[in-house]
Chain A
Amino acid sequence: MVDRPLPRPSPLTEPFWNAARGHELHVQHCQDCGHYVFYPRYLCPDCGGDRLEWRRVSGRGTVFTYTVARRPTHPAFADRVPYVIAVVELEEGPKLTTNIVGIDPESVSIGLPVQATWEDTGDIVLVNFEPRAR
């Protein structure tokens, strides 16, 4: 059995994973240009500003695109097929890669309203998304 790949947080990314442990979604917010930034950066990719502060965001978004993996994309996911890998666009703007859970994969569609839900893997808590009421 191959282990599931799990994040190894760095000083830059630790605040994200610390917040996830408390079931909160935090992303960086640029105090210079106002953009939300994901994944974590040293400087804002929009304006170059270095005043990036961590902010709690809504956890609400929509499915921007997705695929249903019918064959495992990694050996550790062999017993999970079919599963949905998706890009979710958060209400605050940033996009992130995630799994869509709590729904039959056949029923997922682009534009589906979703909200963050948490998957405990031990030391790391991953953020998945599940359908929400519109």
Chain B
Amino acid sequence: MTGGTAAIAGFADIAPRRDTGDTTVMGMLSHLAHMTASDAGLTMRDVDGLVVHDTGSAMGAVVLVEMLGLRAGFVDRVSHGGATGAAMVGRAAMAIATGLCHTCLCLTASIQHRPFRGYAIVDSSPTAEFEEPYGGSGPNYGYAMIARRYMHEYGLTDEQRALVAVQQRDNACVNPDAIFFGQPITVGDVLASPMIVEPLHLLEIVMPTGGAAGVLVTTAERAAHLPHAPVPVLGIGEHVSHWSATYAPNLTTSSVKPSADRAFDMAGVGRRDVGLLSIYDCYTITVLISLEDAGFCPKGTAGRFVEEHDLRWNGDLPLNTHGGQLSYGQSGIAGGMSHVTEAVRQLQGRAGERNVAGLERAFVHGNGGVMGEQASLILGTR
């Protein structure tokens, strides 16, 4: 990262008023986004980064991406009170300096009513209003609809999906910390498990657990003097495109692609240079689509790919050696981080029996929402 590569090119204000009328925070942010871009002579087509404050909803940032129609290489939500505005610019500058995005909006808005109305005009969540009344609660149905559409377009079989769960379970059986340690399964077991949301069976869906995962990041110089072998961050990538699967730009080709492409480009390595894949696996279908969009096999061939490769810890392309969240357990937000800690454990040679021999580089991928929020890492040993 180099200093001084980012510059502010435009700004906009909506002047203070005692009563903001019928608009909402998301309404003000929408207009402010266009006003700010317009001041710089740009449109939303030119914007690939967004930093917004805490809008009062956990998915506020990604819903704003969806509302504005952005395809963003960098999205962040900053919650530092009065320091938020300045901190936003700092984060945008870091994202631009690393190449994650080229043009980033930093937006803040607040509504005010006078006299006090006794209630606030709050933004209705598109999910609560247009999905939940139809049973569209939780992530299961979205991934099931992705799987159904993928099978329609590319001809994936139930057995091929099940194979993902089976191979990860085999990995969990060499990880005593895995929730399903000591419980191997077969393709038949997966397909005989209860149907939850067609075509996904119980054993294709993560089981909620409690737990935690964390890493410490420091300079390469300092890391060299600490007890464990340094694991340099060689490449990073992000991409955010949508919140609900219904409004995904493409249901079967995901935002994994631009995220992974950026990480590999930044690291200057190719797909054949990584010896471990640590890929978010909330469902079997997630792994298959991610393998394709991250560039490990051509579109539409992931089913065959998992048949032709041994994805276990001692196979030709080890995938999710801790068992993946499907068999290690999904401890909420720590589930995604477990893919990072497992890659570090492997690269530092601390994975015991399941340590991949001669490992030099790992691809780590996190997936949020319903394939709409992506982040990729290339980690190495040097």
Contact = CB atoms under 8 A, between A and B. Distances in A.
Nearest to A111: B152
Given A67-B144, A67-B145, A99-B134, A12 B124 contact: yes
Given A68-B198, A69-B141, A45 B148 contact: no
Interface string B143-178: 011101100100000000000000000000000000
Interface string A90-134: 000001111100000000001000000000010010101000000
Contact of B145 (A6, A44, A66, A126): A66
B146 A71 contact: no
What's the dominant secondary structure at chain A's contact region? loop
Interface string B166-207: 000000000000000000000000000011111110000000
Contacts of B26: 42
Interface in A31-49: 39, 41-46, 48
Interface string A74-85: 100100100101
Contact of A7 (B67, B128, B200): B128
Contact of B69 (A8, A9, A45, A65): A45
B318 to A, nearest CB: 31
Nearest to A75: B137
A69 B197 contact: yes
Size category, A interface:
35 or more
A10 B123 contact: yes
B121 interface: yes
B121 A10 contact: yes
A54 to B, nearest CB: 15
Nearest to B21: A11
A48 B46 CA distance: 12
- SS of B interface (majority): helix
Interface residues of B, number: 49
Most-contacted residue by chain A among B133, B149, B244, B247 (CB, 10 A): B133
B297 interface: no
B136 A8 contact: no
B129 A8 contact: yes
B16 to A, nearest CB: 20
A68 B198 CA distance: 5
Contact of B132 (A9, A48, A74): A74
Nearest to B139: A73
A95 B131 CA distance: 12
B69 A5 contact: no
B205 to A, nearest CB: 10
A73 B141 CA distance: 7
A13 B124 contact: yes
B381 interface: no
B214 interface: no
A42 B124 CA distance: 13
B112 interface: no
Contact of A70 (B123, B196, B245, B246): B196
A86 B128 contact: no
A7 B129 contact: yes
Nearest to B148: A65
B68 A45 contact: yes
Contact of A65 (B123, B132, B146): B146
B140 interface: yes
Interface string B29-57: 01100100000000110000000000000
Residue of B145, B146, B194 ringed by the most chain A CB atoms within 10 A: B145
A87 interface: yes
B116 interface: no
Given A70-B198, A73-B197, A95-B246, A42 B146 contact: no
Given A5-B133, A39-B129, A87-B245, A70 B67 contact: no
A41 B67 contact: yes
Contacts of A68: 197-198
A65 B246 CA distance: 9
Interface of A: 4-13, 39, 41-46, 48, 50, 64-74, 77, 80, 83, 85-87, 95-99, 110, 121, 124, 126, 128
Interface of B: 22, 24, 26-27, 30-31, 34, 43-44, 66-69, 121-124, 126, 128-138, 140-141, 144-146, 148-149, 152, 194-200, 244-247, 251
9 contacts: A41-B30, A45-B68, A46-B69, A64-B149, A69-B135, A69-B196, A71-B195, A83-B135, A96-B246
Given A50-B31, A97-B131, 11 more contacts: A7-B124, A11-B22, A11-B121, A41-B30, A48-B43, A65-B251, A66-B148, A68-B198, A72-B135, A74-B137, A87-B245
